[in-house]
Structure 1
Amino acid sequence: MRIVKNAEERKNEILDAADELFGLKGFDGTSTNDILEKVGIARGTLYHHFKSKEDIMDALIERYSARLLDAAQHAAADRSIPVVERMIRVVMALNLSGGSSKEIMEHIHKPQNALMHQKIQKVIIHGVPPILTDIIREGIEQGMFHTPYPYECMEMIVIYANTIFDDDMVALTDEELLSRMHALICNVERLLGAESGSLRDTMKMFGMNPEAQG
């Protein structure tokens, strides 16, 4: 008996299969036939939902973008966690993980996919500062931070971090990366009106030694 699925369910089934295959075989190493066999559908059904393999990848990128913001919001929501730790958890939630994340990052960094790269950056730049701003306002209430511009501070920081720590935008050696991290923490403290050195331990959450100098 032929199983009939609604459009959204079938679309997600195709995306799940492509996500797994791209992760295992790479984007270029995966054919539409591989996806068809994985899902068990006819070619016409696939093309009803997606025009091409590139269209499937674009849809996966959109799905990952939504997950980025969901993960960031979830990380920010638990008020039982200290303010600074929640800030870092939000930032760390922006790292793509699982599935075909490596393939997705390689795909969007190709010159012909600059628009998709820009799309993810736009999601981060517009979606993350409001999440962080709510946390900063808590820090202001607790006397940790002193700034009349919580949103603007977070916007500046997100735009800087999203550019400097993007390998496709700026290539950094390990020493340069460490130096940028020290500088970022130092300037975040100044922007937020935090006590000097109060945010240095945040580097430990990124696996870095706060005592090391760039």
Structure 2
Amino acid sequence: MRVVKKAEERRNEILDAADELFSQKGFDGTSTKDIIEMVGIARGTLYHHFKSKEDIMDGLINRYNDRLLKAAKEIAKDKSIPAIERIIRVVMAVNLINTGGTEVMDHLHKPQNALMHQKIQKSIINKLTPILADIIRDGIEGGIFKTPYPYETMEMALAYTNTVFDNDMVEMNKEERKARIQAFIFNIERMLGVESGGLKCFNRIFDIENEA
């Protein structure tokens, strides 16, 4: 007897299979036939939900984006975590590399996917800024931060990190990257009214230790 599943359930099965195969074999090394065989569906069923393998990747990227932002919101609202630590955890939560999305990141950085890459960056800046701004407001109430511009400061920080620290936008060697990270932290401390060295822990976001 043929099993009929809801469209959303079937779509997620396809995305789950693609996610696993892309991580094992890479995007280019995975065929739609591989995905079809893993899910156990007809080719027509796959193309009913997705037009192409690229369309599947786009769906996977959007799903990652939704899940990461949901995780960020959960962390942000947990006021038992100190404000500075919450900021670090929120930012690390939306980093695809930290969540096993290396193949997705590689795909996003291909020239032909520039529009999708831009879409993700836009979503991160627009949706993550208010989440971080709320944490800053909590920190202001707690006497940790001193700034009249919590939203604008976080918007500036995200805009900078999403361009300068994006491998496609600014070319730099390891030493230049480390210098920019330190300059970024130095200036964020001043923008948030924190004493010099007060946000040194932000180095965790950039994984300075592992790079060294």
TM over 0.5: yes
% of aligned pairs identical? 66
Query: Is 1:23–1:99's contact at 8 Å kept on the other side of the alignment?
Result: no
Check 1:20–1:54 CA distance in 2 against 1; reply closer, same or farther (3 A cut).
same
Q: How does 1:56-75 map to 2 (within 5 A)?
A: 56-75=56-75
- How far residue 97 of structure 1 moved from its aligned partner, in angstroms, is 4.2
Pairing of 1:71-110 with structure 2 (within 5 A):
71-97=71-97, 101-110=101-110
Tell me which amino acid in the other structure corresponds to 1:112: Q
2:148 corresponding residue in structure 1: 148
Q: CA deviation at 1:170?
A: 1.8
- Gapped regions of structure 1 (runs ≥ 5): none
Rate the CA distance shift 1:195–1:171 in 2: closer, same or farther, 3 A: same
CA distance in 2: counterparts of 1:29 and 1:151, whole angstroms:
42
1:124 aligns with 2:124: yes
1:167-209 Cα deviation digits (max 9, x unpaired): 1212332211211111111101111112222112332564436
Aligned to 1:193, the other structure's residue is in SS state coil
Query: Which position in structure 2 is the counterpart of 1:49?
Result: 49
* Structure 2 residue aligned with 1:178: 178
Partner of 1:187 in structure 2? Answer: 187
Alpha-carbon distance in 1 for matches of 2:26, 2:68: 22
Once structures 1 and 2 are overlaid, which stretch shifts more, 88-97 or 38-47?
A: 88-97
Provide structure 2 residue ranges, at least 5 long, that are not aligned to the other structure.
none
Return the alpha-carbon distance in structure 2 between the equivalents of residues 157 and 99 of structure 1: 22
C-alpha contact (below 8 Å) 2:109/2:168 kept by paired residues: yes
Alignment partners' CA distance in 2, 1:178 and 1:99: 23
Deviant stretches of 4+, over 6 Å:
none
Answer whether contact 1:22 1:100 (CA < 8 A) is retained.
Answer: no
